[in-house]
Structure 1
Amino acid sequence: MVSAMSTKQRIKAAVLFHALSDQTRLEILNRLKQGEQCVCELTDALQTGQSRLSFHLRVLKEAGFIRDRPEGRWMYYSLNSEGLEDLEDFVGELKKATAMPGSSKKCE
């Protein structure tokens, strides 16, 4: 039997999926598949202002999907495999649940 998610797990799942619910954030993740990028490179590639981009980067970082590191006056971003593993684990649990037989109770 698949165990019920704890409150902490549900909150984490909500944060993960919220981070993935925006087209700009998905584009950032797609660009970071190519490797680490400076915030200035992302700003140019996405043709957006740095403050708007910083908001999206913060959401992705809080979800654990990306990491940052300062170098001089610039910040560099890369994918975080641990955050991606959290997402993979959650989806894996959902997949396990689909393999389990459904409830035998019928609504009346």
Structure 2
Amino acid sequence: MNMIDVALICKALGDSNRLQIIQMLSDGEKCGCKLLEKFEITQPTLSHHMKILCECGLVDTRKEGKWSHYSLNCETLNGFKQFIEGLNCCGEKGGCCK
């Protein structure tokens, strides 16, 4: 995963509503209507949040009738998790900052 992708994901996750959406999708695919029920936002606002999450690659979408169904893109999420896990804290166990 390159730094531009990581930066886009971090920017997308910088909004508390989008973080909650990602958390909700961790249970599995959700219809946009179900996501909308959990927030006090309009449908256009939800669409804006979903566009950002889809553009950074964290979320996939599929259309069924008039509704969109959203799910996590596990490949992107796992790549981001690997990036985060690769970060080290110099203060732990004698780390790098002596």
What TM-score, normalized by structure 2, do the two folds share? 0.83
Instruction: Point out the structure with max Rg over C-alpha.
Output: 1
* 2:32 matched residue in structure 1: 39
What stretches of structure 2 of length at least 5 have no aligned partner?
none
* 1:57 matched residue in structure 2: 50
- Residue 18 in 1 paired to residue 11 in 2? yes
What stretches of structure 1 of length at least 5 have no aligned partner?
1-7
Q: Which runs of 4+ in 1 moved over 6 A?
A: none
* 1:30 matched residue in structure 2: 23
What TM-score, normalized by structure 1, do the two folds share? 0.76
Q: SS at the partner of 1:46?
A: coil
Identity between Structure 1 and Structure 2 (%): 35
RMSD: 2.2
State the number of aligned residues. Answer: 96
User: What is the rounded CA distance, in whole Å, between the counterparts of 2:86 and 2:11 in structure 1?
Assistant: 18
Q: SS at the partner of 1:67?
A: strand
- Residue 48 in 1 paired to residue 77 in 2? no
The answer to which structure has the higher helix fraction is 1
Q: Deviations over 1:20-64 (max 9, x none)?
A: 111000010111122211111111111210111111111111111
- Pairs within 5 Å for 1:80-95: 80-95=73-88
Q: SS at the partner of 1:58?
A: helix
